[in-house]
Amino acid sequence: MAKVYPNVAVPSLALPAAGAAVAGDEEPVTLTVWRKSLLFNCRGFTVFDASGNLVYRVDSYASDSRAEVVLMDAAGRPVLTVRRKKRAIGLVGGDQWLVFPGEDTRAPPLYAVKRRGAVIGFGGSGGNKSMAHVAACGGAVGGGRYEVEGSYARRCCVVYDERRRAVAEVRPKEAMVGTDVFRMVVRPAAAGMDVSLAMAVVLALDEMFGKPSLLRNWSS
């Protein structure tokens, strides 16, 4: 099996905040995402950059009954929190996954991620291809709307902005068997899609389509 994590030392990276564009940054960012926590008795994700440095962590203890997943940087500092908000029975719209800054779920959410069928697509995309929709909330600065198409179960999906530009993509990783290790490519942040937000979308997709889920219980 290929080596998943070449370097586990904390790198000195300055990652952009969710929704913040990086002026003049035209190079795509490629990350390796491992659907596994490095901590004992934890479920989660471990994310490495192209040099093998640890960039993000998600650690969820089996006994943890909280209703959210916290995306942390390599040093364990909260970057974003993804929390499911259940809709009452009979209400139109379905459940949604809200993305909050840091770990403060009392703050206005930055983005809302909804499964296909919860809202109508945009930009002429085919409804059969769409898995989820991402829309900026009041807490986001300069954010827009995105549509996710493809299959997360096969780790083959693309995030499009309102102009149908591919701003992020999930791909199978070469030389790896199974779907627990995959690549995530994030393209220039001109449309407001940065690396942290793309990873939050992956966490929401995993809660929608991944098996088993990181969380056993969701609260409203």
Per-residue pLDDT reduced to its tens digit, 13-48 = 334 444 443 334 468 999 999 999 888 778 899 999
Whether the link from the prior residue into 16 is cis, omega within 30° of 0, is no
Residue 191 pLDDT grade (very low, low, confident, very high; cuts 50, 70, 90)? low
The structural architecture, per CATH, of the domain 29-209 is Beta Barrel (2.40)
- The pLDDT assigned to 136 comes to 92
- Where is mean pLDDT largest: 8-12, 37-41, 153-157? 153-157
- Residue in 16, 14, 21 with CA at minimum distance from that of residue 143: 21
Return the domain boundaries, the chain: 29-209
Q: Is the pTM of this model over 0.85?
A: no
On whether the CB atoms of residues 21 and 200 are closer than 8 A, the answer is no
User: 103-126, pLDDT tens digit by residue?
Assistant: 988 999 999 999 876 444 444 444
Could you give the CA distance from residue 212 to residue 72 in angstroms, rounded to a whole number?
21
Name 19's Cβ contacts closer than 8 Å, sequence gap at least 6. Answer: 110, 111, 136, 140, 141, 142, 143, 192, 194, 197
